[in-house]
Structure 1
Amino acid sequence: MAALTSGEVCIKYLLFVFNFVIWLAGTGVLAVGLWLRFDSRTEGLFQVEGSPTAFFTGVYILIVAGALMMVVGFLGCCGAIRESPCMLGLFFIFLLVLFAAEVAAGIYGLSNKDTIVDELKTFYKETYQNYQTTKQEALKEALRAIQYSLQCCGTTGTAFDIAQDTCPKKEGSQLLITTSCPAAIDDLFNSKLHIIGGVGIGIGVIMIFGMIFSMLLCCAIKRTREIV
């Protein structure tokens, strides 16, 4: 039985580190999804009749994506460190499926960008209007999360919107320069689309290298176990 070469050993530990990072990232994504689903400030959104469904879908996507990332990271880590061709093969298959899903999502997103932007703006407006009517704490937290992340305020960006308790706090001249959230959503997908695309391409390239390394290591392990 032959031993792995120094280059193959290097690939082995690189693959282990790569997948450990994926596992940690998956743990974080799953934790955020579960927190949004079961936190007392947001779980009310899942119980309010007529609440926008986009938030629910996003939360469940986070939970599923986090769980898949943890499974992929676990298979890659164990397959590399234990030199298991079976686990490495499963890791390759999972990564290939995720890569295909990312490509499909990217194509769908580019071809339906205007529809997605309109749906997001509609979701925000419905959440905003529902909160103005009901003052529910769950809706308030959802609005604060959106408005603080996009640094926007309300549906018009007027003085009335700025006075709302869900908006980012501003002082002085900043009060005169306030972006409405529908406009901020437009800006995110139009002026910053290249950044989103760059991140997606970067993730795709990392996945490709992960698949290549897993196959190289799998073939090397099988070679070392052949009787010579």
Structure 2
Amino acid sequence: MSGKHFNVHEVGCCIKYFIFGFNIIFWLLGVAFLSVALWAWSEKGVLSNISSITDLGGFDPVWLFLVVGGVMFVLGFAGCIGALRENSFLLKFFSVFLGIIFFLELTAGVLAFVFKDWIKDQLKFFINNNIRAYRDDIDLQNLIDFTQDYWECCGAFGPEDWNLNIYFNCTDTNLSREKCGVPFSCCTKDPAEDVINTQCGYDIRAKGENEQKTFIHTKGCVPQFEKWLQENLTVVAGIFIGIALLQIFGICLAQNLLSDIEAVRESCLFT
């Protein structure tokens, strides 16, 4: 990987060092995300037994850290080195890669709006699939508990979705103490209690629906997410617009620096 390098005073110094500083932050964040992901996998023994990755029936949250960290690491590296070394190949790679990500985000947004019912069904399938694997992975368990606690929900569309889990279902063959129950994250909070009662959901689904409402949240996470999205639409839209503007700004800066490098290259050819 090579590129022509020119005297620092021959190209836009402000743009060059702004791109470098901007991307080194993202590169360091990418390193942090990857470090957290690798640490989590080492704690679960995945690094010593790679085949265990396929053992989970649900989503492993560590994958999110790996993907986000990997993308940030590659983009940050290309932007930093490309700007510092005035390497046209790395700057083009940075610009094109960022453009592809922006296009994919835009496409995903349009498709999510057009096929919102399909997205809703896929979200239900995703949550139910993870309910089945609730006890299989501590990270997944923590993610589900956080989601149910934050949105005050239980299951994809209601507490009965926990019948999908072998520990919580109400079948006669289930010998688990958690039979016909729900995780503690489904329980309504008692302000007077300082310590979380992890057994608050035991046998709760064996009771009537009206009685259940006293102890647990009976609304599903899918409708609660839709409600949250409607209530915070301005904030969510603002975040996505801000990210999009940052990406466009990064592409413009990279293209500007590339133009400076190409201009210097051409002037050198004629001297």
Per the TM superposition, whether the score is higher than 0.5 is yes
Match of 2:152 in 1: 152
Report the AA paired with residue 26 of structure 2: I
Residue 188 and residue 81 in structure 1: after superposition, are their counterparts in 2 closer, same or farther (change >3 A)?
Answer: same
Structure 2 unaligned segments of length 5 or more: list them.
Answer: 1-5, 161-177, 194-213
* Higher Cα radius of gyration: 2
Match of 1:15 in 2: 19
Residue 90 and residue 201 in structure 1: after superposition, are their counterparts in 2 closer, same or farther (change >3 A)?
Answer: same
Deviations 1:20-73 (A, max 9, x none): 12223333444455566665299978414xx34xx25x7546533431221111
Q: Structure 2 CA distance, aligned partners of 1:45 and 1:179?
A: 33
Match of 2:119 in 1: 116
SS in 2 for 1:124: helix
Residue 123 and residue 32 in structure 1: after superposition, are their counterparts in 2 closer, same or farther (change >3 A)?
Answer: farther
Q: Structure 2 CA distance, aligned partners of 1:12 and 1:23?
A: 16
Structure 1 unaligned segments of length 5 or more: list them.
Answer: none
Between Structure 1 and Structure 2, the one with more helix by share is 1
Q: Structure 1 CA distance, aligned partners of 2:62 and 2:114?
A: 23
Structure having greater relative contact order (Cα 8 Å, sep ≥ 6): 1
Match of 1:47 in 2: 55
Q: Structure 1 CA distance, aligned partners of 2:32 and 2:257?
A: 28
Match of 1:140 in 2: 141
Match of 2:71 in 1: 68
**What is the TM-score normalised by the length of structure 2?**
0.63
Question: What's the offset of the Cα at 1:167?
Answer: 4.7
Match of 2:238 in 1: 198
CA contact 2:188–2:217 (8 Å) conserved in 1 = no
Is 1:105 aligned with 2:113?
A: no
Q: Structure 1 CA distance, aligned partners of 2:249 and 2:223?
A: 38
Identity among equivalent positions (%) equals: 29
Report the AA paired with residue 205 of structure 1: L
Is 1:24 aligned with 2:28?
A: yes
Match of 1:213 in 2: 253
Q: 1:188 aligns with which of 199, 222, 228?
A: 228
User: Greater CA deviation, 191-200 or 9-18?
Assistant: 191-200
Deviations 1:172-191 (A, max 9, x none): 38977947333322223333
Q: Structure 2 CA distance, aligned partners of 1:128 and 1:41?
A: 22
Report the AA paired with residue 154 of structure 2: G
Match of 2:175 in 1: none
Q: Structure 2 CA distance, aligned partners of 1:165 and 1:24?
A: 37
